[in-house]
Each structure stands twice: as structure tokens, then as C-alpha cells.
């Protein structure tokens, strides 16, 4: 189905998203080292030990890439600002070249009539801060507040929206419990501290941006719809724990000033002293919630200690990532988020898309996007206040521990020549979104 602007409410925002480390190229412009560089350099962590040294060379191809966003007919471009590029030591003196780059990026978007949607942190923690314990260290609240001030004092007057941290679950759980992302820890105490400090830093950052007079501030979390794999009570309990860790920890912290009991069952002994006192900061009022949504998970009881769950492979068609495609799960999650946590607050699908091995002709991606846009429409019809939808991602890029193999882009990138070629999905979206010609 071809869903055009006319199928959505007036003012609905269509966009595309990227992130700094995944496209810019760390080797350029005075960027400092970050924990992804050392994680990737450690054998076994990343496919072929690939890193973001060059990535898509977006740093030098900014205008060409912004033209691609404009020709797509996008209203919004969601990008992130690299902490390691802006403040190479993590604290202290900013890198003027880094700030200039984001200045040019924002002005380049505005000149093309595109709304800049900034995310301050999309995972490139400066190495000197990682050396001090990174997200495990409570001081990261202050470090992140200072970074926020540095970036937003420069571009905060022109960004359309801003959010502090992309996908707290990935920063906390995936990186400190599962060990799949930098810093690659598998430690319950590190996890508890990181999960809490991320939300604390989020709140501090919102405070700073409010202090600068900024509006349209939100949070961007990744969510998955978790279902019991069968009818057993064990699977139901396991799915509840999975849902609590993945989804409700962040929704509860941000919107209710509480962490869910199934998470506290495992993490409470490891949370920093006085954690409850931080909810006043964590729960600073927001103007919207961003949901990054890709898939659902089937969950059953797992062996071993807490959290006692295991994922079961589902029967639905899968993307190149092996993630099941179930658009109705997005509808259900949007309705649930509004009903149980956010009420009338606008919801944005801040990331949705699929990795596909099809290099240029990608009907699978066109189908995925169209089905998920339909799912958003269904949620709106049920009363969920969804105000926008952004595709992940503008172009093929560095997919973290999976290197450059998994291609999420609307635009193909040849990683030898760095040539950009719009795929069929790019042309399809352009025909749905463009208002002129």
C-alpha cells in the first residue's frame, strides 16, 4: 500500500534518522577516541573488527547527504552529536572544529527547509570518561550536563527538537549486562549503576536545556513488544521480567518516578545508595516521547539465575538482523505507552526500518515501511497521539558489533568508494512524502 501524507493527520512529521559514530568518520575533524574504538579493536567484539574510523565519511560529504534528505521530502532529520568530537577529553575544552560541524549541519538543514532533531548522545562515550568508569560513575550526570551546555549553547537556538540519550536500554543493559556493545561488560552491579545513571544524566540534561530556554524536549527509548512463547505460567512470568527490563524500567523512571518490581528483584541490591531521591531529576517534564521500534520477542523461562528468561525464535518473516517483522506490535506498543504512561503527550516513532541484503532494489523494505506506517495509522485511529515517524536510516552505515554488513539505509553506500545510490525504497518514500512535483 502507498501511504502518502494525506493518510496522516495535518502536521504529522515524516523524517529520517542517523547517528554520529555510525556515519561521520571518527578520524576527521579533531574527534577524540571513544569506547567504541577500543571495543572494536578487541578481537571478537565486532565483525571483522570494523570500527567507525571512516564510516560513511559524512563529515566531508555533509552537503551531499543533506541534499539526499531534502530530495526525499523529509520534514525532519534526526541526527546525533558526538561527545568525543565536541569534547575530545570528555570534559573541559571543546573542539572548535566539532562545534563548527554541528553548526553547519543545523544551518544546512534549515537552509533546505528541514527541521533539525538533535540527540545528544548516541553511544560514543569519550575514552577518558570510560577510563573513569563511564556510565557506572555517578559523576557522569555532571559531565553530561556540561556536554549538553556546550553543544546547546551553540546550536540550541536553532534545533527543532532535542533529546539527551538514544536508547537507554542499549547503553545500560546491552552494554553492561549482555556485553554486546561497548564497554562490553557482563556485570550486574555495573548494569544497575549504568541503568540508573543514564536516567539521572537524562534528567540533568533536560534541566540544562530548559535553563537555556529550549523547548520541544523529549526522550528516545527503544522498545520491544514481549510475549510469552506459550501458555505456561513460567513463560508469562519470564515475559513480564523481559518487558520490565526492556520497557517499563525506562517508562516507569521517566513518567512514574518508580522502577518496576521485576527489575528491582535483580538490580536493587546493586543500585547506588539514595537512588530513589533522583526521581525528581529523572522525571523532569518532557514535551514528547520517542519510540525506536523494530520487532517483538517471544519469551520463555531461562536457566540460571535472575533474570530467568530466554528468547524463543518466532515463526514470522525476519529481517537481515534476524528480527521478526510484526507491524501490529508497533500499534499495540503505541497504544499501551499512551494509555499507561504518557497520556496526551505526543509520541514520535523516532526509529523504524529494516536491514536488508538487497543492495538497490529493496521491495522487502518498501513493504516493511508501508506496513509499519499502516500500523502507526491504526494506533492513531485508536487514539494514540502519534505525531511523527522517522525511518532508520538515511543510508547504510556502521551497525555496531555487526560492522558494515547489515544494511539499514534508504541510500546504498559503497564502502570502498563511499558512493551513495538511492535505493528503490528511497524513491518510494520520496513519492509518498514529497509535496512538490
Q: Does 292 bind ligand IFM (CB under 6 A)?
A: yes
Q: What are phi and psi of 329, to 5 degrees?
A: -65, -35
Name, in order, each residue with C-beta under 8 angstroms of 3's C-beta and a sequence gap of 6 or more: 370, 373, 374, 377, 432
- What is the Cα–Cα distance from 380 to 334, expressed in whole angstroms? 9
Among 37, 51, 167, 324, binds ligand IFM (CB under 6 A): 167
Which candidate in 240, 324, 326, 351 is catalytic?
A: 351
Q: Report, in Å, the least distance between residue 80 CB and ligand IFM.
A: 9
The answer to whether the Cα torsion of 140, 143, 145, 148 is positive or negative is negative
268 is catalytic: no
Return the axis-axis angle of helices 327-337 and 363-381, rounded to nearest 10°.
30
**Ranges assigned E (strand) in 34-137:** 76-80, 115-121
**Min separation Cβ 424 and ligand IFM, Å:** 20
x/- letters, 206..225, toward ligand IFM (CB under 6 A) = ----------------x---
DSSP state of 292: E
Task: State the nearest-atom distance from the C-beta of 22 to ligand IFM, in Å.
Answer: 6
Q: Which is nearer to ligand IFM, 17 or 106 (CB)?
A: 17
- Output 122 or 154, the one with its CB closest to ligand IFM: 122
Residue 157 CB, shortest distance to ligand IFM, in Å, is 27
Instruction: Verify binding: residue 399, ligand IFM, rule CB under 6 A.
Output: yes
* Nearest residue (CB) to ligand IFM, 137 versus 358: 358
Residue 148 binding ligand IFM, by CB under 6 A: no
Cα first-last separation, the chain: 21
CA distance 219 to 27: 29
**Minimum CB distance to ligand IFM smaller for 37 or for 146:** 37
**Is residue 19 close enough to count as binding ligand IFM by CB under 6 A?**
yes
Contact criterion met (CB below 8 Å) for 425 and 362: yes
399 has catalytic annotation: no
Angle at 28 between CA 23 and CA 34, to 5 degrees: 70
- Catalog residues that contact ligand IFM under the rule CB under 6 A: 19, 22, 167, 222, 292, 351, 392, 399, 408
Positions annotated as catalytic residues are 167, 351
Amino acid at each position: 500500500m502507498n501511504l502518502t501524507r494525506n493518510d496522516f493527520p495535518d502536521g504529522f512529521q515524516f523524517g529520517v534518522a542517523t547517528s554520529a559514530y555510525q556515519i561521520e568518520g571518527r578520524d576527521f575533524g579533531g574527534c577524540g577516541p571513544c569506547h567504541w574504538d577500543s571495543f572494536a579493536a578487541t578481537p571478537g567484539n565486532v565483525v571483522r573488527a570494523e570500527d567507525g574510523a571512516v564510516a560513511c565519511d559524512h563529515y566531508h560529504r555533509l552537503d551531499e547527504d543533506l541534499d539526499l534528505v531534502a530530495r526525499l521530502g523529509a520534514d525532519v532529520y534526526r541526527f546525533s552529536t558526538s561527545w568525543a568530537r565536541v569534547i575530545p577529553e570528555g570534559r573541559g575544552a571543546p573542539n572548535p572544529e566539532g562545534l563548527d560541524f554541528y553548526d553547519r549541519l543545523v544551518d544546512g538543514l534549515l537552509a533546505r527547509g528541514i527541521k533539525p532533531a538533535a540527540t545528544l548522545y548516541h553511544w560514543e562515550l569519550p575514552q577518558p570518561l570510560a577510563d573513569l568508569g563511564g556510565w557506572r560513575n555517578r559523576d557522569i550526570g555532571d559531565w553530561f550536563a556540561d556536554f549538553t551546555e556546550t553543544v546547546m549553547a551553540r546550536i540550541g537556538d536553532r534545533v527543532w527538537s532535542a533529546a539527551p540519550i538514544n536508547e537507554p536500554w542499549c547503553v545500560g543493559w546491552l552494554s553492561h549486562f549482555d556485553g554486546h556493545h561497548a564497554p562490553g561488560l557482563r556485570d550486574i552491579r555495573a548494569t544497575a549503576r549504568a541503568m540508573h545513571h543514564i536516567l539521572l544524566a537524562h534528567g540533568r540534561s533536560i534541566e540544562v536545556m530548559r535553563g537555556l530556554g529550549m523547548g520541544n524536549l523529549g526522550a528516545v527509548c527503544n522498545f520491544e513488544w514481549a510475549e510469552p512463547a506459550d501458555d505456561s505460567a513460567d513463560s508469562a512470568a519470564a515475559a513480564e521480567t523481559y518487558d520490565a527490563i526492556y520497557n517499563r524500567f525506562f517508562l516507569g523512571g521517566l513518567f512514574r518516578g518508580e522502577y518496576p518490581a521485576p527489575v528491582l528483584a535483580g538490580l536493587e541490591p546493586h543500585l547506588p545508595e539514595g537512588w530513589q531521591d533522583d526521581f525528581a531529576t529523572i522525571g523532569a517534564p518532557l514535551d514528547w516521547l520517542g519510540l525506536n521500534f523494530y520487532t517483538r520477542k517471544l519469551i520463555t523461562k531461562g536457566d540460571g539465575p535472575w533474570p530467568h528468561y530466554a528468547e524463543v525464535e518466532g515463526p514470522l518473516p525476519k529481517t537481515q538482523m534476524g528480527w521478526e517483522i510484526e507491524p501490529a506490535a508497533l500499534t499495540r506498543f503505541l497504544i499501551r505507552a499512551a494509555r499507561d504512561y504518557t497520556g496526551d503527550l505526543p509520541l514520535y516513532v523516532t526509529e523504524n526500518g529494516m536491514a536488508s541484503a538487497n543492495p538497490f532494489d529493496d521491495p522487502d523494505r518498501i513493504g516493511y515501511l508501508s506496513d509499519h506506517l499502516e500500523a502507526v495509522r491504526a494506533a492513531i485511529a485508536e487514539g494514540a497521539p502519534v505525531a511523527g515517524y522517522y525511518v532508520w536510516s538515511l543510508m547504510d552505515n556502521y551497525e555496531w558489533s555487526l560492522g558494515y554488513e547489515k544494511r539499514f539505509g534508504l541510500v546504498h553506500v559503497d564502502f570502498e568508494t563511499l558512493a551513495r545510490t538511492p535505493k528503490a525504497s528511497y524513491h518510494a518514500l520520496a513519492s509518498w512524502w514529497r509535496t512538490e512535483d
